[in-house]
């Protein structure tokens, strides 16, 4: 190969890498950029042909989300987005708190004790990750209506345990198993009981792991759509179900829907940057570290 | 005295793990109970609007599914979509991982950015793409495609368009899952086999085929397992975009069960369809997990 041909090949390779990087970047980021732009447009700019990249921005769509009014016009069936946001917070925080309370001792037992049925129980927790949600939601819908849990935060927090509890138990177990056994044995020799080992050794040493688990559990709860779709009502809808309310039979409120998706996404964007090293581990229930 | 106390202590300790597990098991039991109830309903003709006709009908719901044309189509779409989605997402995910592994500038930034689609609520992702996939010329996607000479696509309005749209949206959200697993695995690979191969004068393609892919196989299978399970049960994206249409072209088993149970209130039938999907998930996941364990064991040697 001549040196000129080699030079050309290297040049082509660099160009290919640059093109690939740009395509990947656009594919990943452009949808966010476009939705952000859409959320800042007047209704007329949203449906303009060709689509506008340059326009006079407006915060009308965000204002409409908060006060439910656009250009002096109230809609009687407007989605109450601030309420949905609050609901998402209440349900997600409630769900992770309950899962952490029940999951920490359970994960401790599965990580540090040997007992019959241990692996079977661990597998049972894992298997909930793979069950189609509709298998739970049909009977839960019927049951909740009878016992008065339908359209309540409590009912949703309990249903969300299907999402957060198996995850919390497996994640925490994988973090607890990383703590060297020697430390635990040393604590036992110093007279610590099982409770002392948990509160003085396991919990302090796995605090980062617990925070990551709680944050990821919160994010998975925030993403939940199908349980609240069937088990919540207008007073308890979270943002995921709330955002879809901008599609009605008469029209789609594109601008407000774009603003709603941005607002619903913001906590996820901030939190995912915080726990970025652990997201793959979380999504595989601790299988990939 | 001493032995007595020791025995008591021994007894207490045997039950300790179960006590620690108790709160979580109680919560689980609270979920297993409705599931059992649902299993029972699948053997009844439970129709919410006609509670008086409630009757135990054994396996009639399951038998009747075989003569239900929508069920055959939903089953076909569920399996077909899963196959295509897994092949596309794992294939592209592997390509992206290899690309980023090959010293692309800004790899760290790219990794962080790829987390964003991954952690978005799937229904929000679907709404974002729904805005971009407007079928008129005001839709940004059709506008951008027009520069490549593509005529305006009727994204959600045509049968093929709807299937392709859902595949694109699902891929946008989940491609990073595959890429990040495989990129992490690539970065943790041992360097010795590559050095040996380089000494032997192996081509990059041969190294990929004979070193990288075999070493990656447990991770590829893990990604395939998770993606298969999630694709079989895809719901949010379909619900927010096509609702199973047009003409049932994007109705999978979960959407069908949803329609039977929550639009027509035929709880028994809906539950039976759900159980069929569950059996499908259990069979496929056990096969895939066995393959994954075998691959993990063979690379560990």
pTM of the model: 0.92
**CA A140, A142, A144, A148: dihedral to nearest 10 degrees?**
180
What residue ranges define each of the domains in chain B, with the CATH number in brackets?
Answer: 2-41 (no CATH), 68-300 (1.10.3720.10)
B139 close to B128: Cβ distance less than 8 angstroms: no
**Pick from A107, A225, A91, A109: nearest CA to A167:** A107
Q: What is the mean pLDDT of chain B?
A: 89
Residue A140 has its nearest CB partner, among B34, B104, B112, at: B34
Q: For the segment B254-264, what is each residue's pLDDT rounded down to a tens digit?
A: 999 999 999 99
Quote the pLDDT of residue B6.
Answer: 52
Interval B143-170: pLDDT, tens: 998 888 888 888 898 999 999 999 999 9
Q: In chain B, what residues touch A241 (CB-CB under 8 Å)?
A: 123
| Whole-angstrom distance, CA of residue B247 vs CA of residue B4 | 74
Give the nearest chain B residue to A162 (CA atoms): B31
B118–A279 CB contact, under 8 Å:
yes
CB-CB under 8 Å, B127 with A273 = no
CATH of domain A81-283: 1.10.3720.10
The pLDDT of residue A93 is 97
Average pLDDT over residues B24-53: 88
Q: Which residues 110-169 of chain B have a CB within 8 Å of chain A? A: 110-124, 127-129, 131-132, 136-140, 143
Q: Does A283 touch chain B (CB under 8 A)?
A: yes
Q: According to the per-residue pLDDT averaged within each range, which of B28-37, B38-47, B78-87 is highest? A: B78-87
Which residues, numbered 24 to 43 in chain A, qualify as contacts with chain B under a Cβ-Cβ cut-off of 8 Å? 24-25, 27-29, 31-32, 34-35, 38
Which residues of chain A fall below pLDDT 70? 1, 68-78, 249-250
Residue A269: both structure tokens together: 């964007």
- Among B106, B132, B258, select the one facing A34 at the smallest CB separation: B132
Contact call for residues A100 and A194 (beta carbons, < 8 A): no
Answer yes or no: is pLDDT of B9 > 70: no
Please say whether the beta carbons of B157 and B246 come within 8 A: yes
The shortest CB-CB distance from B257 to any of A131, A134, A241 is to A134
pLDDT in tens, A156-195: 999 999 999 999 999 999 999 988 888 888 888 888 888 8
The pLDDT score that the predictor gives to residue B1 is 43
Q: How many CB atoms lie within 10 A of CB B49?
A: 8
Core vs surface per residue B117-144: b (16+ CB within 10 A) or e? bbbbbbbbbbbbbbbbbbbeebbbbbbb
Q: Given a cut of 80, is residue B2 above it in pLDDT?
A: no
pLDDT (0 to 100) of residue A14 = 86
**Contacting B residues, span 46-75, partner chain A, CB-CB under 8 Å:** 48
pLDDT tens string B51-108: 888 888 888 889 888 888 999 999 999 999 999 999 999 999 999 999 999 877 788 8
SS (H, E, C) A16-77: HHHHHHHHHHHHHHHHHHHHHHHHCCCHHHHCCCCCCCCCCCCCHHHHHHHHCEECCEECCC
Q: How far off is chain A from B261, nearest CA to CA, in Å?
A: 7
The Cβ of residue A66 has, within 10 Å, a number of other Cβ atoms equal to 13
pLDDT, position A218 = 96
Confidence of residue B229 (pLDDT cuts 50, 70, 90): very high
For tokens 């987005």, the residue is: A81
CB contact under 8 A, B222 and A169: no
Q: Evaluate whether B281 touches A130 at the Cβ level (below 8 Å).
A: yes
Question: Domain ranges in chain A?
Answer: 3-74, 81-283
- Quick one: which of A128, A130, A93, A125 has its CA closest to A109? A125
Task: Report CA B42 to chain centroid distance, whole Å.
Answer: 24
Q: What is the pLDDT of residue B275?
A: 93
CB A31 within 8 A of CB B124: no
CA-to-CA distance for B26 and B18, rounded, in angstroms?
Answer: 11
Nearest CA distance, B210 vs chain A (angstrom): 23
B117/chain A closest Cα distance in angstroms: 7
**Is B41 close to A279, i.e. CB distance below 8 A?**
no
Question: Shortest CA distance to A197 belongs to which of A100, A103, A96, A111?
Answer: A111
From A17, A48, A143, residue closest to B138, measured CB to CB: A48
Closest to A243 (Cβ–Cβ): which among B102, B118, B127? Answer: B127
Give the residue-averaged pLDDT of B110-137. 90
- Contacts of residue A66, defined as CB under 8 A and 6 or more positions apart, other chains included, come to A81, A82
């Amino acid at each position: 190969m001549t040196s000129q041909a080699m030079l050309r090949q290297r040049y082509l390779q660099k160009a290919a890498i640059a093109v690939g990087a740009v395509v990947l970047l656009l594919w990943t980021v452009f949808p966010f950029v476009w939705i952000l732009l859409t959320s800042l447009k007047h209704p007329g700019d949203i449906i303009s042909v060709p689509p506008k990249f340059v326009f006079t921005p407006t915060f009308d769509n965000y204002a409409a989300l908060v006060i439910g009014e656009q250009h002096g016009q109230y809609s009687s069936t407007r989605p109450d987005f601030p309420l949905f946001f609050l609901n998402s917070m209440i349900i997600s925080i409630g769900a992770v708190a309950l899962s952490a309370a029940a999951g920490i001792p359970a994960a401790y037992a599965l990580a540090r004790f040997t007992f019959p049925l241990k692996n079977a129980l661990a597998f049972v927790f894992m298997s909930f990750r793979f069950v189609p949600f509709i298998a739970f939601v049909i009977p839960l819908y019927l049951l909740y209506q009878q016992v008065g849990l339908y359209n309540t935060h409590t009912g949703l927090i309990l249903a969300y345990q299907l999402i957060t509890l198996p995850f919390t138990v497996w994640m925490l177990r994988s973090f607890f198993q990383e703590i060297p056994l020697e430390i635990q044995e040393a604590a036992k020799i110093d007279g610590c009981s099982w409770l002392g080992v948990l509160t003085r050794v396991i919990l302090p040493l796995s605090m980062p792991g617990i925070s990551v688990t709680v944050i990821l559990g919160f994010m998975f709860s925030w993403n939940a759509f199908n349980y609240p779709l069937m088990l919540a009502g207008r007073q308890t809808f979270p943002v995921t179900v709330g955002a879809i309310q901008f599609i009605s039979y008469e029209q789609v409120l594109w601008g407000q829907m774009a603003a709603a998706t941005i607002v619903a996404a913001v906590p996820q964007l901030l939190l995912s940057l915080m726990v970025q090293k652990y997201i793959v581990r979380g999504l595989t229930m601790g299988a990939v570290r | 005295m001493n032995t007595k106390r020791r025995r008591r202590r021994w007894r207490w300790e045997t039950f300790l793990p179960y006590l620690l597990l108790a709160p979580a098991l109680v919560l689980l039991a609270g979920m297993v109970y409705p599931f059992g109830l649902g299993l029972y309903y699948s053997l009844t003709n439970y129709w919410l609007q006609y509670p008086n006709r409630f009757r135990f009908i054994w396996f009639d719901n399951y038998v009747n599914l075989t003569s239900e044309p929508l069920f055959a189509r939903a089953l076909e779409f569920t399996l077909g979509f899963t196959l295509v989605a897994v092949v596309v997402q794992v294939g592209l995910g592997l390509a992206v991982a290899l690309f980023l592994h090959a010293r692309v500038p800004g790899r760290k930034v790219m990794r962080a950015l790829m987390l964003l689609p991954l952690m978005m609520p799937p229904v929000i992702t679907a709404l974002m793409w729904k805005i971009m996939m407007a079928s008129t010329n005001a839709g940004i996607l059709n506008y951008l495609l027009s520069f490549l000479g593509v005529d305006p696509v009727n994204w959600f309005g045509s049968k093929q368009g709807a299937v392709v749209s859902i595949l694109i949206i699902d891929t946008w959200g989940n491609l990073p899952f595959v890429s990040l697993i495989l990129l992490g695995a690539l970065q943790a690979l041992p360097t010795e086999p590559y050095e040996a191969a380089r000494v032997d004068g192996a081509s990059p393609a041969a190294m990929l085929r004979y070193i990288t892919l075999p070493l990656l196989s447990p991770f590829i299978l893990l990604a395939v397992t998770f993606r298969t399970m999630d694709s079989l049960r895809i719901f949010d994206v379909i619900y927010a975009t096509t609702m199973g249409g047009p003409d049932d072209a994007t109705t999978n088993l979960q959407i069908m069960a949803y329609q039977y149970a929550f639009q027509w209130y035929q709880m028994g039938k809906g539950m039976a369809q759900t159980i069929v999907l569950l059996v499908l998930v259990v069979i496929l996941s056990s096969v895939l997990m066995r393959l994954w364990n075998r691959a993990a064991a063979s690379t560990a040697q």
